Every structure is written in structure tokens, then in C-alpha cells.
Structure 1
Amino acid sequence: MEFLYAFIKYLVITAPFLLFGFGIAGIINAVVSMEYIKKNLGGSGVWPIIKAAIWGVPLPLCSCSVIPTAVTLKKSGASNATTSAFLISTPESGVDSIAITYSLMDLPMAIIRPVSAFVTAFIAGILQNIFNRTNDNAETEKPEKESCGSSCCCSEKKTPPPSTSIFEKIKSVFTFAYGTLIDDMAGWLLFGLVVGAAIDYLIPVHIIENFNGIGGKFAMLLVGIPLYICASSSTPIAAALMLKGMSPGTALIFLLAGPATNISSLIVMQKYIGRKGVIINVATIAIVSLIISIIVDFLYEFFTWPTTYNIAAHEHMGHGEFSYGEIAMATILFLLLLKGIYMANFKGGEGKK
């Protein structure tokens, strides 16, 4: 029963922010077209890198669904630098993951996470511009349809085509936000909530506190880099680790490295930005994440920011102290997640692959 309550607690806390974040993601999807992005990310130099890093931060694409988008950008004339910046900032952040970060952690982390995504993407882009420009103008053949395997949020569904009708625009917002987007990540988001609740219930505080040194930071890199996980689904896990005593900086490494890299995406992108490009991206993510981690831990200590995160506010509540509104939103989110898992596995999604 205690584990079940821990899971319900995570669901209740995240539901309003996730539902809001999904809604904003739907609006962004309806307003910002891929054609507009492709048109504005061409060319060389620093400015396209900055734009790619900035635009990637709020976009609702995860570590797997960003791959075909990045390939399209590359084939449309984007440089290795611009493609890499977009490829890193987009999965590391998003309006949905920013919302759930604030709901489970605190305002500083909700700000630090997207800023860190931008910084990492920008630095990777600059390094690509310096060391990996050899195939920027190379003609690439049309890629075969890539399989995401067991990826965190890959779907066969396509976003509805843009329409000039206001009604169709509004409909597309809800269709994408509470249909396509949730269906894509439902399984792994639910997995993240379950793992977060399990850590909350099972893991003693003193074990996690031992991971706050440099060894713990490297351990988070080793776990995060090869792992399939989306930004939103990684957040409950990181929040539970922080609740048990992990430092904000160490948890941030998992939040940055996990969504930005996985074995499948690295293999696919090697074809388009080259082996050197992949090495530059992974090395940048690892090194910058470590540096930012140390800075974040210093900031929390220097400014004495409280580490009693939002998830801890419910720690001492009784089992019946959730409001009707909280229960209603948690129920809606849970049903949407179940629907998403059903659609992914029985209606033409991952289960048919």
C-alpha cells in the first residue's frame, strides 16, 4: 500500500503541470511548422547554431522522434553544427519536461534544465563548426525508414497537416497534445513514475547520499548516455533520487545525458554527421554536463536554495489529503497514459513492429 500511495503521490503532483505542458506543446506544434524551421536553420556560421539551440528547447520532440527531424534538417541543407545543436537541445528539454521539472523539483531546476540544454547544444554546435565541417555540403541519399526499436517515444503516427481553419487549428492542438504526443511517450512516462515511486519507497537515504561525489556524477553519465529515456520520463526518477539525498547537480547529469543520447540514435546519426560528429556530440554532452553539475551544486550551496523539493511537500500528507481537483487531474492523466500504451501496442504503434 505504501508503494501504491507513493505512485499516486507522483501522479497527483505531476498531473496538472503535465497536462498544461502537453497543451502548450500542442499549441507550439500547431503554430511552428517544420517547413519554417527548415527554412530558417540553413546556412553556416554562429547564428543558425543559436537559433537551432533556442528553438530546440521548447519543442515537444524526444530523444528518438527528434532523429527523423534532424535527418530532414541535414538533408535540407543544415550544417553539421546546426543539426547537432538541434539534436541536443530538443530532447534535453521541452515545455512538457519543464513543467514536470517544476512540479516535482523547484523553480531553479525548472530554469537550469532548459538553460543547460541550450548551453550544451550551443557548445556542441560551435565545436562541430570548428572540427567537423567536411560533409556540410555533401549530398545525402534519402534515408530508409528508421526503426526506433525499443525507444522511449517513437510512433508511426504523423502530425495532422496544417490547416488555415481556426477550428482545425484548435482541433490539431488537442489531437497532438493529448493524442499523438502522449501516445508517443505514455509507456516510458508511466515507467518513470513507477521507478520514481519505487525509489521513493524502497531506497534508503544513506545509499543515495554516497553518490554525490565525482564518482556518482560519472555513474550518472554511464547510466544516462546509452539509455533510452525521454526528458519527461527521466524527471520522476531524478526527483526521487534528489528526494533521497542526491545533489541537484548529480541528478541534472541524468536529466541531460539520458534524453540527449542513446545507442540507437548515435548509430543512425553517424551516417549523417559522421563518426567524428557523433564523438564531438557525446563528449560535449558528457563534459558540459559534468561542469554544469558542479556549478549547480555550488549555486545551491552558495545561495542556500532549499533542497526540500515540491515532491517533498506531499511527503508527510495523510493518504486521504488530496483535493478533488488533484484526484480528477491525476485520473485524467492516468487514463490518457493507459490509452497511449494501448494505442502504441495494439493500434499500429510499437507493438506492430
Structure 2
Amino acid sequence: MDWLRTALNYSKEFAEVAVFGFLFAGFLQAVVRPTVVARYLSGYSVWRANAIGATVGFFTPLCCCTAIPTALALWRGGSRPGPACAFLIATPWFNWYGLVALWIFLGWRMALVVAGSGVFIAFLTGMIIDWQSPNERAPRPLPTEVPETVCTTTSCSVKSGSACCSTVDTDGSGEFFDFSNPWQKLQMAGTNAWALARELLPWIAAGILIGATVKTWLPTAWISALETRSWLTPVLALVLATLLYADSLGSLPLVNALLQKGLGSGNGMILLIAGVGTNLATLGPIYREMGTRVAILYACCVMILAFLLGILWNLVL
């Protein structure tokens, strides 16, 4: 009964943000122009471009999988890999939808820790990638048919097709949003919302079941024993985050359960950020599109920075 009650509570918490969140996320994906974002990232200095890459995802509420095609679109439209990687790291947590979910599940303080850490790690990773792997190719303009974000059968793939999910800058206005053809945009929003729900609901359901299991049956003494070894727990959290991949939203119930069992805040942050940043679904497209050097730098920077920052948060909080 305790397990079922916990699972129902997690489901209720997701329901508070899911319905409106999917609809509004679908609408934003229909009106935001990725080509304009790409031009902004390629036209600024390295510092400013990576800062924008780490924060612009606030207006494009994407999970870790659905952020991949958008990040690749940014890379194809720009001249540097760093801002695209920064976008990919920070977006799953630094967006209005992710922040609301973090707040509901983990509280406002942990929400700020995770989102702030994500932006910081994303910015530094982007800077290091651009410093160590300067890209000398000329910017390639995006095709009129942009990669889809959530209209494919799997959001971790990149498919060139009709622009059913987002809009391109066909009029050359350079505006971030396109509100022309409102009825068409509403139809696109509905299609995007339904596709996003189909992609995320299995992960969310799995996260609810795993989180309820951990919260109900994992002995608190085990977590307390690990926390007494301050150097070991972040290592285990990093290994677990790398091996056990889950969607960003789907991992929230598990981290919630572990935090209630006594897991340190920094270790919870490691599970969330490293979990969505160092998995094959993310590293595979980076390797194919940007090369081996960038993929290795990306993975190493996320793991090392998340580990160091996790130790700091364990000491401070």
C-alpha cells in the first residue's frame, strides 16, 4: 500500500505540470525560430555566444532528448560547437517547464541548485570545447526544412522533413518568435504537444515506478552509511548517472526518493545533470556531427565539473 500511495503521489505531482506544460511547450516550439537563435550564437564573441547557448533554452522547454535535434540545428547554423553543447547541457533543467517540475518535486532551493549548476557547467563546457576544438569552417546556413524536434517517432533522432514542429525565418525579419498564421501555429502546437507527450510519458511512468520503489523499500541506513564517506558518494552518483540513463523529468522521482533517504544535495545534482549529459543518446549525435574530440571533451567536462560542483554543494548545503 505504501508503494502504491507513493506512486500515486508522484503521478499527481506530474499531473500538476504535465497537461499545461505539454501544451505550452508545443506552442513555443511552433513559434520559436531556431534559425534566428543559430544566427545569434554564431554572430557573437565566444564568451557571449556560450552564455546565450547556456541560457536561451529557457524559452524552448525541451527535455534532454528533444533538445538534441535543436542543438544540432544550432551547430549547423553556427560556426562553433561550444554554444550548441552548452544549449544541450543546460536546456533540460534551465527552462520554465523544468524549473516548475524541479520546484514541485525537490523544492525551490534544490531547483535553483540544479538549474544554476546546469547553466554554470554548460557555459564552462562550451568555453572549453571552443578553446580546445576551434572550428574553422564557415557557418552553414540552415536548410529551409529544419530538423524536427518532436514530430519524429524517436526524438533522439534528427530527421529532415517538413517543418511541422518549428518555424524558420523565411521572411528574414530576424525576430525570435513567429506568430504569423495563428491557426496553423495552433495546429502545430497540438501536434508537438501530443508527440512530446508520447515521447516523455513512458520515461515519466518508469521514473514514477522506480522512485516509488526506492522510497518505499530502500533502507535509509544505506544512504546514511554512504553519506558518511564524503569522497565516495559523489563517485557512485557519477557512475550511476552515467550508466543508468533516464529522461530528465523521469529521473525526478528517483532523486526525490534518494534525497528523502538522506542523499546530499550535491549528489542529487550530479545524478540529474550528469545523467542527462553523459549518455549514449546524447554523445552519439555529438560524435557523429562534431567529431571525436568534441564528444570526449563534452563527456569529460560534464563529469568533472558536475563532480567538483557536487562536492561543493554537499559542503555548503
- Report if TM-score (shorter chain) is over 0.5: yes
Query: Does structure 2 conserve the Cα–Cα contact (< 8 Å) formed by 1:154 and 1:184?
Result: no
Cα distance per residue 1:75-95 (max 9 Å; x no partner): 223302122212211234433
Deviation at 1:206, TM superposition (A): 0.8
1:278 & 1:99 partners in 2: Cα distance?
30
Asked if residue 164 in structure 1 is aligned to residue 165 in structure 2, the reply is: no
One-letter amino acid of the structure 2 residue matched with residue 261 of structure 1? T
Query: Does structure 2 conserve the Cα–Cα contact (< 8 Å) formed by 1:7 and 1:197?
Result: yes
Cα 1:292/1:18, change in 2 over 3 Å: farther
Deviation at 1:228, TM superposition (A): 3.1
Match of 1:31 in 2: 31
One-letter amino acid of the structure 1 residue matched with residue 38 of structure 2? K
Say which SS state the counterpart of residue 41 (structure 1) adopts: helix
Match of 1:194 in 2: 209
Asked if residue 204 in structure 1 is aligned to residue 205 in structure 2, the reply is: no
Deviation at 1:56, TM superposition (A): 2.5
Query: Does structure 1 conserve the Cα–Cα contact (< 8 Å) formed by 2:59 and 2:96?
Result: yes
From 287, 312, 315, give the equivalent of 2:304.
Answer: 287
Match of 2:174 in 1: none
Cα 1:98/1:36, change in 2 over 3 Å: same
Match of 1:3 in 2: 3
Query: Does structure 1 conserve the Cα–Cα contact (< 8 Å) formed by 2:278 and 2:303?
Result: no
Cα distance per residue 1:108-135 (max 9 Å; x no partner): 1112222111111100111112111155
Q: Please list, as runs of the form range in 1=range in 2, the aligned pairs for 1:172-251 lying within 5 A after superposition.
A: 172-177=188-193, 179-212=194-227, 213-251=230-268
Deviation at 1:283, TM superposition (A): 1.6
For this pair of structures, how many residues does the alignment match?
294
From 249, 270, 275, give the equivalent of 2:292.
Answer: 275
Cα distance per residue 1:24-64 (max 9 Å; x no partner): 42343233222222222214521111111111245333333
1:33 & 1:266 partners in 2: Cα distance?
25
Say which SS state the counterpart of residue 46 (structure 1) adopts: helix
One-letter amino acid of the structure 2 residue matched with residue 191 of structure 1? A
Say which SS state the counterpart of residue 231 (structure 1) adopts: coil
1:81 & 1:70 partners in 2: Cα distance?
10
Query: Does structure 2 conserve the Cα–Cα contact (< 8 Å) formed by 1:30 and 1:173?
Result: yes
Query: Does structure 2 conserve the Cα–Cα contact (< 8 Å) formed by 1:211 and 1:217?
Result: no
Match of 2:69 in 1: 68
Cα 1:50/1:272, change in 2 over 3 Å: same
Cα 1:290/1:263, change in 2 over 3 Å: same
Cα 1:248/1:24, change in 2 over 3 Å: farther
Say which SS state the counterpart of residue 92 (structure 2) adopts: helix
Q: Please list, as runs of the form range in 1=range in 2, the aligned pairs for 1:260-271 lying within 5 A after superposition.
A: 260-271=277-288
1:241 & 1:218 partners in 2: Cα distance?
16
Match of 1:105 in 2: 106
Query: Does structure 2 conserve the Cα–Cα contact (< 8 Å) formed by 1:21 and 1:97?
Result: no
Counting aligned pairs with the same residue, the percent is 25
Cα distance per residue 1:184-214 (max 9 Å; x no partner): 1111111011111111111111112233222
One-letter amino acid of the structure 1 residue matched with residue 100 of structure 2? A
One-letter amino acid of the structure 2 residue matched with residue 299 of structure 1? V
Match of 1:123 in 2: 124
Query: Structure 2 stretches of 5 or more lacking a match?
Result: 168-177
Q: Which moved more, 1:256-265 or 1:163-172?
A: 163-172
One-letter amino acid of the structure 2 residue matched with residue 201 of structure 1? T
One-letter amino acid of the structure 2 residue matched with residue 80 of structure 1? P
What is the TM-score normalised by the length of structure 2?
0.81
Deviation at 1:74, TM superposition (A): 2.0
Say which SS state the counterpart of residue 229 (structure 1) adopts: coil
Query: Does structure 2 conserve the Cα–Cα contact (< 8 Å) formed by 1:196 and 1:239?
Result: yes
2:73 & 2:186 partners in 1: Cα distance?
26
Cα 1:225/1:158, change in 2 over 3 Å: farther
Query: Structure 1 stretches of 5 or more lacking a match?
Result: 301-353
2:7 & 2:199 partners in 1: Cα distance?
21
Asked if residue 296 in structure 1 is aligned to residue 302 in structure 2, the reply is: no
TM-align CA RMSD: 3.0
